[in-house]
Structure formats: structure tokens, C-alpha cells
Structure 1
Amino acid sequence: MSLSNRTILIVDDEPRTRQGIKQTLEVWAAGRYAVETCDNGVEARERLRQERVHLLITDVRMPEVSGLDLIRSLQDSAWKPVIIVISGYAEFDYVQQAMRLGAVNYLLKPLDKSELLSVVEDALKREEEQQRHVKLEKLVDHKLMEIDPDQAGMGQPVKDAIAYVEQHLHEQLTMAEVAGLIHLNASYFSVLFKEQAGVSFSEYLARLRIQRAKELLLQTSLSIGEIGERVGYRTDKYFIKVFKSLEQLSPSRYRHKMKGGSQEIH
């Protein structure tokens, strides 16, 4: 049994082709990937519903559930593997359909080992890039991204407040203190900030702190308490509470999932 939590699934109803690909990839992978097989599309479709597969290599034509059917069944899946299809020369129209459905490459029978490895390596690089994008998407706070100090309509006082908060995020900040620094009444500043930034000052501060915390969780090995302090929280308990309110999971669970300790990112 492979210790790898990354899986390549080969689906082909021809035993010789299926086993040949498996053996070639197992030698190449050297334990980096679990290389598994299915001899029909029905079994493969069920496995793909239940298990996380990173790369799917499937024949386009099989009885009952074809490779094309298999690819179509993945269209609404939360986790889509990268897909390579296998076909004979006479079936190239099926390959074209598979590419339109999202397959990244194809192999023609009889398979050439060096071509197989080249295509597989390229597909796995694409899969890693896709996962990187998924993680970056999870890392980014889109509400913060919408707050642009250079946008029309944002006055200098709010710009100054944003610049100050970004530079002093590790300190204990209050709205009254920041308003005072830019010579505004706190109540007026509160209304002005929400009107121009689109969120309240307290929400902006919390989101910015948690955004910075997420970066530290992934880029450092600092403890949860140390990260909380670095983004301006006096206690672990309050930091965890705010983090959970925005991310729906604790800082430690977030770090575990985003660093690949789990196959899920909720």
C-alpha cells in the first residue's frame, strides 16, 4: 500500500494496456503516487464519487460507461482530477469530444512509454497548479480585495486610516484612536469609513488581521498564540473566535487543511 495520498486512476477494459500503464507509472512514481486501476467505467465512476483522484487516465471507449460518460459525470464534481484519454487512431473524434469536456491531453494506442511519462508529468504539473489556485482562492479575502485606496470616491482621511492600520496591525487599535490620528470625530469617521470602504472599520480591521494571520499560518511555523499576537490579538481565545467567525474553522484546522494534511478544503 502506498503512503502517498495522491492518486492516479487508470481505467481501461483491456488488461494488457491497463497493467502496462500501471507498471510503468509505479516504477516512475517510486511511491510518490498511489497508482490504481479499474477495468470498467461503472466501477471507476463509483470510485470517483467516493475517493479523491488527482489524475484520471481513461480509455474513451468502454462498454456500459465509456470514458466520455466518465468525464461527463465529473462536470459537477467539487474535486475534478486532471484527465488524460486513451484511444485508437480510428476513434479520434472521441478524443476531440473528451478535450472539449476538459481532458488535458491524449495518448494513442499502442502507447509509447516515454510519451506516457511525458504526458503524465505535464498533467500532474497542471493538477498541482490547479490546487495552488484553489488554495490561493481560499487564502484571499474578496471583501478586502474590493477595498482599493486608489478608487474614485475614497477621500484622503480614509486612505490615511487604511495606511495606518496596515502599518500598525500588530498593535492594539481602536476606531477612536485611528479617528483621532486623522483629526476626525469617531462617529463621523465611522460613517465615512463605511460609506467609502464598503465595510465598517471594525470589520475591515478584523478581516485584515485574519488575512495576515492566514499568511503567517501557511508561511511560518509560529504557534497559534504567536500569530494572534503578531496580528494584534491579546489572547489566543479571542483570536480563535474571530478567525472561526470569518473562516468557519479554527486557525490550526485551517493550517492543517491548507498545507495538505487533508484532502478537503471547505
Structure 2
Amino acid sequence: MLRTILIVDDEPGTRNGIRKTLELWADGRYRVECAANGVEAAEWLERDTAHLLITDVRMPEVSGLDLIRLLEGRPDRPASVVISGYAEFEYVQTALRLGAVGYLLKPIDKEELLEMTERALKQEEERHRAEKLARLVDPKLFAIKEEEFRPGGPVGEVMEYVDGHLQEQLTMADMAAKVHLNASYFSVLFKEEAGIPFSEYVTRRRIQHAKQLLAQTRLPVGQIAEQVGYSTDKYFIKVFKQLEQISPSRYRSEMAEYY
């Protein structure tokens, strides 16, 4: 699907000039859309996705600042560039604080427009890439620091064993016996040192490894399920969805463009 640039300006001359310049530059690589005012743009953004928003900073009813605020917090929010006159620099400063990549002064110079567009699209792509790749990392596992555990301590020893034997059945009783501890005591000790229960650690390590396999290989989901210790792909998919709020196949398709 083509990435989309949305141009918003209530001055037809400015709006159409930007559109023509970008369409010629894009040469079919991007979809270029227009909205005649902020209200129209807000409605467009409710039903569609833009990768770059180029908007006049001041418009009646819904301003460019309103549009940028509207998109705050959205996972698919576009990069934004604002258009302004010399007397509107206070608005530009606000837009920059809200995360706008930069601004264009009227009358708009074509070279500056294209330079800003390329810079904004590159930043948007890098941000989304970083956000997608961050999904490979489980935040709770990331928070567990190796130095928190005593050298050769039972919790660290069990974690190391689990990480290397995800295909196997890993019960707390077996792991406690492996480090010569009572199962009840080991359960309390593991949660105290790791911050999460043993069973949750095993689940998160399995799903973490599954995410890596989904992103970096073309192995079937059923085979990945087996490699991370699940006897059925149905149960694996259920657990994966509970942790990631997305199915393994959907996760794979969303990560595919980065591998």
C-alpha cells in the first residue's frame, strides 16, 4: 500500500500548488491527498491513515495545531509539517513543541518543500520502524537485569536453563529440584528476585523467542509453537494473543517489511 501525504490548507492556490509539486516529485511512489480545511481533514483522518501531514497552522474552526493534537498518542500518527506566515511564528513554536518536524513559510519555496517532505517522511519511517522493532522486546524481561542475581545463584541458574530449553516441559517442581530447593521456597525466591512468577517468566521467554522466529524466519506457526514448547498451535496462538494483543500471523505480517 502506498504511503500517503495529506495536504491541508484553506487557501486553494497554496493547497493545489503543494499538491502539484508533490505529485510530480512522487511520480507514483506516494499517494497525495488534500483537504480544504481542518474540519474536512479531521474527518479524513478518522477514516484513513496519513504518513505525512502538511497543514496550514491557522485555519478557522479546526487549526493545524488542533489536527496535530488530535493525532497525539495514535500508534499510526503521521509526521507533521506546518505552513505559516511570518506573523504566526508563535503558532509554529507550539507546533514544534507538539512534535512537528518543521515548518514552511509562505510563499512556499519548492526546493524547501521537497527537502522538508523527504526529511519528514524519513523520520516517520524511522520512528515506526523503531516502534515495530521494540515489539520484539518484552518489557518485563528487559527489566530483569542479570546483575540482580548472585553469581551462581539458584534463580539465575534456572533462568539460564530455561532460556536454553524452551522446547522442554519446564515445571517449577523440576526446576526447584535442579537447584536443590523446596518448590514452595523456590517459588517465593524466584518472584522476589525476578519480579514475576516462575510460570510467567517461562511463558514470556517462550513468546519472546516465538516473536523472533516469526519476524526472522518463514517457519510455519505450528512448527514455531513446537520449538518454543507448546504441543498445539491452538494453545500457542491463544497465549500469544493474551500477551501481544495480536495473532502470530498478524504479528509476522506487520514485522515482515523490516526483515
TM-score of the pair, normalised by structure 2: 0.88
2-structure distance, mates of 1:76, 1:212:
29
- The DSSP-based 3-state class of the residue aligned with 1:144 is helix
Please say if residues 153 and 196 of structure 1, whose CA atoms lie closer than 8 Å, have aligned partners that are also in contact: no
**Cα–Cα, structure 1 residues 199 and 58, in superposed 2: closer, same or farther, change >3 Å?**
same
Cα gap change, 1:88/1:143 in structure 2, threshold over 3 Å: closer, same or farther? same
CA contact (8 A) 2:148 2:193 kept: no
Q: Any idea what the Cα deviations from partners look like across 1:57-89, whole Å, max 9, x if unmatched?
A: 011233333323333333454542211011223
- Taking a change above 3 Å as real, the CA distance of residues 158 and 77 of structure 1, as seen in their structure-2 partners, is closer
Q: Deviations over 1:166-203 (max 9, x none)?
A: 12223333333323332223333223212221222111
Query: 2:60 maps to which residue?
Result: 63
Which of 128, 131, 137 pairs up with 2:128? 131
Which residue does 1:215 correspond to in 2? 212
CA distance in 2, matches of 1:30, 1:24: 10
Cα distance in 2 for residues equivalent to 1:190 and 1:218: 33
Q: 2:20 aligns with which of 18, 23, 39?
A: 23
Unmatched runs of 5 consecutive residues or more in structure 1: 261-266
Q: Secondary structure at the match of 1:31?
A: coil
Query: In the alignment, which of 231, 240, 243 is matched to residue 246 of structure 1?
Result: 243
Give the drift of 1:137.
4.0
Q: Percent identity?
A: 64
Deviation of 1:130 (Å)? 2.0
- Please state whether the residue corresponding to 1:139 is helix, strand or coil: coil
Residue 11 (structure 1) aligned to one of 8, 12, 28: 8
Q: How does 1:166-205 map to 2 (within 5 A)?
A: 166-205=163-202
Q: Compute the displacement of 1:127 (Å).
A: 0.9
Deviation of residue 107 (structure 1)? 0.9
Name the structure 1 match of 2:222: 225
How many residues are paired up?
257
**Structure 1 Cα separation of the partners of residues 194 and 96 of structure 2:** 43
Amino acid of the residue matched to residue 91 of structure 2?
A: Y
Task: Tell me by how many angstroms 1:212 deviates.
Answer: 1.0
Equivalent in the alignment of 1:108: 105
The alpha carbon displacement at 1:152 in A equals: 6.1
**In 2: Cα distance, 1:142 partner to 1:172 partner:** 24
**How has the CA–CA distance of structure 1 residues 116 and 145 changed in structure 2, closer, same or farther, with 3 Å as cutoff?**
same
CA contact (8 A) 2:221 2:249 kept: yes
| Native 8 Å contact 1:107 1:116 kept in 2 | yes
- Report deviation, 1:154: 8.8
- Which shows bigger deviation, 60-69 or 18-27? 60-69
Q: Which deviates the most, 72-81 or 182-191?
A: 72-81
For 1:164 and 1:198, how far apart are their aligned partners in 2? 18
1:161 has 2:158 as partner: yes
Letter in structure 1 aligned against 2:169:
Q
Partner of 2:135, secondary structure, is: helix
CA RMSD of aligned residues (A): 2.3
